[in-house]
Amino acid sequence: MKMKTTICVSLLLVALSRPSSAVTVKEGEFQFSLEAVKALGAVMAADDPAAEQNLLLVEAKAAAVCSHPALPEDFRPLCLRRDAGASLARLAFVAIHASACEICESVACPGC
């Protein structure tokens, strides 16, 4: 009886220790949680709400986004890359259309 209880408790702890959101967004060699991508989208939209609509503008503003104090730390390594603007633009697109990830409709969002 004690062994069964131990196994059940262990399985419960493993299940609870999993992150609440298993959805990740892949951008090249990087993977980010969907929540982090949404936060990135919020940072980008905070300075210029119209930037959501114009991904080229987002790409051009990569330096400003990367130096923004509210940028999640997950994106700092991405900002060091030469093509950071293009990557940020693609991630902004995912942030705008986050519902596609939440229902596992986008190939950029594995982990459902």
Rounded to the nearest integer, the mean pLDDT of the chain is 73
- Position 83 scores a pLDDT of 86
Residue type, 95: A
- Position 80 scores a pLDDT of 92
Percent of the chain topping pLDDT 70: 62
Q: Quick one: average pLDDT of 83-109?
A: 80
Phi-psi region of 24 (alpha: psi -120 to 50; beta: other; left: phi over 0): beta
Structural domain boundaries of the chain? Answer: 20-102
**C-beta of residue 75 within 8 angstroms of C-beta of residue 40:** yes
How many C-beta neighbours within 10 Å does residue 4 have?
A: 8
Q: In whole angstroms, what is the distance from residue 37 CA to residue 52 CA? A: 13
- Position 20 scores a pLDDT of 41
Which tens digit of pLDDT belongs to each residue from 27-56?
888 999 988 988 888 887 766 555 555 666
